[in-house]
Amino acid sequence: MEFDDEKYCNFALLEKRQGQKIVLGLVNTQSDELEDKEVLLKRPEEANKHVDPKQICIATQYVEEGQWRKLDLVHELVKSLNA
How far is CA 78 from its chain centroid? 9
Q: Which of 27, 31, 21 is nearest to 63 (CA)?
A: 31
Residue 52's pLDDT band, with cuts at 50, 70 and 90, is: very high
Taking the CA atoms of residue 3, residue 14, residue 79 and residue 70 in that order, the dihedral angle to the nearest 10 degrees is -20
pTM of the model: 0.65
pLDDT in tens, 13-45: 888 888 899 888 888 777 778 889 898 888 888
Give the number of residues written for the chain.
83
- CB–CB of 65/57 below 8 Å? no
Rounded CA separation 61/56 (Å): 16
